[in-house]
């Protein structure tokens, strides 16, 4: 049974608070006719702070798409390896044990994908499969988990590394002045996350079923307009209402597994905004506290796109996990409107074993854990 292990998450060192965001909006757009509405919407997100890969002064500039994309590549190469090493350590595996890398990102473009660079620089095997996903936006975190699950179902002894790299601040467009754009400027943050899905062994969420659902005729609700200046994010005012059609999809998938989506032990949900979580609580008839991991991510980091679900899972681990066999759901939502959903149970290793960690040198990237089971005497 494939097990989703403890994620590693890293956020950049530059911080912008809610107060900073509101002040900047007032300074940059003092005569905007809908500024009061935009400020109110930003305040209602509940985002206390966000992290940026560049200082706010640089973030507010637009040096051109070529420069921005070069920054994306440089920042990814500087920040991804450490979270990969941590995720491998959490899963008690080496780079050489990984059979596929799923890389998700919608905030920059590279070809070859960063997967090729990782294989060349971190001692992954040359036959490691590569699956870059670039166009599912925030839903890609859930999609990555599902594709890893599918791969491990086909190859039961395989291990899959998932990497989510989102630098949303590099998509800031100073000329986009619609209310949706102003709201986005106060909502999205930057983060890098990684996790491993083990085909066998490991501690975490033992994946049992996954599914996808697309809401018809909503393709223009969340989208990119690709122009000379890069990616222009378009957010329709109807997006906050998406839980009404998506909650039944969650219920239907759970029912196919003979579970009740309103009676689970843990919920890992993409935190696109507070309305998403509030509505899902109402439609599934579960207490708001059920979404505490997702809400904490939103408050402390903002909407970090595909990395949200991985950070929310990390918070579940930080809380001590769940009782063995506890049932839960993981769901990411994004353009389409698309939901990527999975069901699983909390799984702990059998008692009577411990792990021994031996540092092994990794070419060009510090150390990588070489871990073997050791019986307890």
- What is the arithmetic mean of pLDDT over 15-41? 95
Query: 159 with 196: CB under 8 angstroms?
Result: yes
Residues 55 and 112 in one domain: yes
User: Is position 368 within any domain?
Assistant: no
Q: Which positions ≥6 away from 11 have C-beta within 8 Å?
A: 51, 189, 190, 191, 192, 301, 304
Number of H helices, E strands in the chain: 11, 16
Query: 164 with 332: CB under 8 angstroms?
Result: no
- For residue 311, give the CATH number of its domain: 3.40.47.10
Catalytic residues: 138
Residues 339 and 263 in one domain: yes
- What is the arithmetic mean of pLDDT over 147-160? 97
User: Is position 100 within any domain?
Assistant: yes
Q: Give the pLDDT of residue 348.
A: 83
Write out the two tokens for 97. Answer: 């044990």
* pLDDT tens per residue across span 82-125: 999 999 999 999 999 999 999 999 999 999 999 999 999 999 99
User: Is position 280 within any domain?
Assistant: yes
Q: How many CB atoms lie within 10 A of CB 186?
A: 22
* Backbone phi and psi for residue 370, each to the nearest 5 degrees, phi listed first: -110, 110
Q: How many structural domains is the chain composed of? A: 2
- Among residues 204, 139, 167, the alpha carbon closest in space to that of 74 is found at 167
- What is the arithmetic mean of pLDDT over 310-329? 96
Asked whether the predicted pLDDT for residue 353 surpasses 80, the reply is no
Give the structural domain span for 248. 204-347
Residues 219 and 282 in one domain: yes
> For residue 6, how far is the Cα from the chain centroid?
13
Q: Give the pLDDT of residue 236.
A: 86
Per mean pLDDT, which range of 54-58, 148-152, 214-218, 271-275 is the poorest?
A: 271-275
Angstrom distance (rounded) from CA 1 to CA 171: 39
| Average pLDDT of the residues of the chain | 91
Residues 224 and 191 in one domain: no
Residues 180 and 128 in one domain: yes
- Among residues 272, 264, 269, 263, the alpha carbon closest in space to that of 233 is found at 272
* pLDDT tens per residue across span 247-304: 999 999 999 999 999 999 999 999 888 899 999 999 999 999 999 999 999 999 999 9
């Amino acid at each position: 049974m494939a097990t989703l292990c403890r994620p590693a998450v890293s956020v950049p060192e530059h911080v912008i608070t809610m107060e900073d965001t509101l002040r900047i909006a007032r300074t940059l757009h003092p005569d905007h006719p809908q500024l009061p509405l935009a400020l109110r919407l930003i305040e209602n997100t509940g985002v206390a702070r966000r992290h940026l890969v560049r200082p706010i002064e640089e973030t507010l500039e637009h040096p051109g798409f070529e420069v921005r994309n070069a920054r994306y590549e440089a920042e990814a190469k500087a920040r991804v390896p450490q979270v990969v090493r941590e995720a491998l350590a959490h899963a008690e595996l080496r780079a050489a044990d990984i059979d596929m890398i799923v890389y998700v990102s919608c905030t920059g473009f590279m070809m070859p994908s960063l997967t090729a660079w990782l294989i060349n620089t971190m001692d992954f095997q040359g036959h490691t499969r590569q699956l870059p996903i670039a166009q599912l936006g925030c839903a890609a975190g859930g999609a990555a988990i599902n594709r890893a699950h599918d791969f491990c179902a086909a190859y039961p002894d395989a291990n899959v590394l998932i990497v989510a790299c989102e630098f949303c601040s590099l998509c800031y467009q100073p000329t986009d002045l619609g209310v949706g754009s102003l709201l986005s400027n106060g909502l999205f943050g930057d983060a890098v996350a990684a996790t491993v899905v083990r085909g066998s062994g490991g501690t975490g969420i033992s994946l049992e079923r996954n599914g996808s659902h697309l809401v018809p005729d909503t393709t223009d609700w969340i989208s990119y307009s690709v122009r000379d200046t890069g990616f222009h994010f378009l957010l329709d005012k109807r997006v906050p209402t998406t839980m009404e059609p998506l909650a039944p999809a969650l219920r239907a998938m759970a029912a196919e597994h003979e579970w009740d989506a309103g009676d689970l032990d843990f919920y890992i949900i993409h935190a696109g905004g507070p309305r998403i979580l509030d509505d899902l609580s109402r439609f599934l008839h579960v207490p708001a506290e059920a979404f505490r991991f997702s809400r904490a991510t939103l408050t402390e980091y903002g909407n970090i796109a595909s990395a949200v679900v991985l950070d929310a899972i990390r918070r579940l681990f930080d809380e001590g996990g769940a009782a063995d066999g506890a049932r839960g759901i993981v769901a990411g939502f994004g353009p389409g409107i698309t939901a990527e959903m999975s069901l699983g149970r909390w799984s702990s290793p059998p008692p009577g074993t411990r792990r021994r960690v031996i540092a092994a040198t990794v070419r060009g990237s510090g150390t990588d854990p070489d871990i073997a089971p050791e019986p307890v005497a």
